[in-house]
Chains A and B, each alone.
Chain A
């Protein structure tokens, strides 16, 4: 029987070490992922969360997908001086410098869930991030 060649294993360990050192102090993390309950007739709901970039390089949250939503888009609600609120798609995404966090909150930025399918409990989303792996997380539906 042929002996298992060792170089690939060593190479794998080496690559892993390089990856760890390149990864700097950490990763991109999301916390406090929630969505306000909306009536089941609602054509849209909003997902809020906090995202932190502990990598050594900038990343950009560009969007998300979920089986519980027809589609998802990153949006920003803005209010002008006269109190008029409007919503735009953040086509460039939300950029986070190394060490920075971004808060998606009511009246600010949200991931809009278009044609929601789930109206209570929780559902899973996958966040698409430029410059890092996508992140799968659960969204808690709760009235805050």
Chain B
């Protein structure tokens, strides 16, 4: 064997190891989710509410996208804008693949969040965001099915009131099953990281 040939083999071996290191090994390492992984046998609870995009919408209205469902309200000054802004940043981080993710906010305050109002609110954070509203009984039933608690404090539309609510994000896979629950304290980077993996 000539030295030249040996050198060629050495270079080939090196190239293969570099390729393995760069492309294969990171894929072998399991993704560690920031959110809580759910393995449910049954499809995620149905949602059938009035959408800011017009008409009624449910989980199957979004063309097989990954659906991120948030229960919030527009009179919420701190948590809701923070979460919606993080989701917008997460979609930016996902880049091209963001088209496969649909963010939906179900209002827990339908009395004040009309569909027109919600539309203006949601699209401010991201053009693609959809708001859902409907009769309070329907929203309560859906929230309960997702294990989401909410309760308005005393006060009326005149005096103002706040709504305590579970601020976790429910991630529903393309198969219609609940895949992941993202706690409210996650950063945009962490949300993007999990959504990229599921998408």
Whether B74 contacts A107 by the Cβ 8 Å rule is no
B167 touches A36 (CB 8 A): no
Q: Is B110 an interface residue (CB 8 A)?
A: no
- List residues of chain B with CB within 8 A of the CB of A87: 76-78, 162, 164
Identify which of B15-23, B43-51, B116-124 touches chain A: B116-124
Closest Cβ of chain B: how far from A68's Cβ, in Å? 14
Q: Are B74 and A41 in contact (CB under 8 A)?
A: yes
Measured between alpha carbons, how far is A75 from B160 in the docked complex, in Å? 14
Q: With the chains together, A111 CA to B141 CA distance in Å?
A: 33
Instruction: Give the complex CA separation of A36 and B84 in angstroms.
Output: 11
Supposing A79-B184, A84-B166 touch, asked if A39 and B79 sit within 8 A by C-beta, the answer is no
Residue B176 CB within 8 A of the other chain: no
What 0/1 pattern do residues 182 to 199 of B give for CB contact below 8 A with A? Answer: 011100000000000000
CA distance A84 to B76 in the complex (A): 13
Listed in ascending order, the chain B residues whose CB lies under 8 Å from chain A are: 74-79, 81-82, 85, 117, 120-121, 124-125, 149-150, 153, 160, 162, 164-168, 183-185
Residue numbers of A with Cβ under 8 A of B are 36-46, 75, 77, 79, 82-87, 106-107, 110, 112-114, 143
